[in-house]
């Protein structure tokens, strides 16, 4: 069974640009959540989707948004990039909305110059 797949693996952008990251969950998993990992702030929750509905959102500005498609694949978008957005963005999938056993992807390393 294939694991959680995130693309691209690395991204370099400049301030003010926009970026879209993609996540394909484990087959059969319906919940996808996104986390930002930085050396200073650790792992921080961005948002979670279940059956195309955002059920929970972390304390990030509105520049961070996401969506989930009918096949459970998810995308997150960051608009008007800032230097502080440089981070590893991790996607995690879970079988249902309640079992909470998260399986993480390898992440997308975003660098904002």
Residue 17 vs 44, nearer CB to other proteins: 44
Residue 25 touching other proteins (CB under 8 A)? no
For residues 85 to 104, the per-residue mask of contacts with other proteins, x marking binding by CB under 8 A and - elsewhere, is: -----x-x-x--xx-xxxxx
Residue 55 vs 63, nearer CB to other proteins: 55
Tell me the C-alpha distance between 55 and 49, whole Å. Answer: 6
Q: How many CB atoms lie within 10 A of CB 31?
A: 23
Among 21, 50, 89, 108, binds other proteins (CB under 8 A): 50
Q: How many CB atoms lie within 10 A of CB 88?
A: 16
Among 38, 51, 56, 77, binds other proteins (CB under 8 A): 56
Residue 66 touching other proteins (CB under 8 A)? no
Distance of CA 101 to the CA centre of its chain: 16
3-state secondary structure (DSSP) of residue 91? strand
> Under 8 Å CB-to-CB from 79, ≥6 apart: which residues?
18, 63, 65
Can you name the residues that pair with 66 across neighbouring β-strands? 76
Stretch that binds other proteins, among 7-15, 16-24, 55-63, 67-75 (CB under 8 A): 55-63
Q: Which residues of the shown chain bind other proteins in the complex (CB under 8 A)?
A: 31, 33, 35, 42-45, 48, 50, 55-56, 58, 90, 92, 94, 97-98, 100-107
């Amino acid at each position: 069974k294939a694991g959680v797949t995130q693309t691209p693996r690395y991204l370099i952008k400049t301030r003010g640009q926009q970026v879209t990251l993609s996540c394909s969950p484990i087959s059969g998993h319906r919940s996808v959540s996104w986390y930002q990992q930085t050396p200073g702030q650790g792992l921080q929750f961005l948002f979670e989707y279940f059956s195309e509905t955002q059920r929970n959102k972390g304390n990030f500005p509105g520049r961070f948004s996401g969506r989930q498609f009918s096949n459970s694949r998810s995308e997150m978008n960051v608009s008007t990039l800032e230097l502080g957005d440089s981070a590893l963005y991790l996607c995690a999938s879970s079988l249902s909305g309640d079992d909470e056993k998260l399986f993480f992807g390898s992440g997308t390393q975003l660098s904002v110059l």
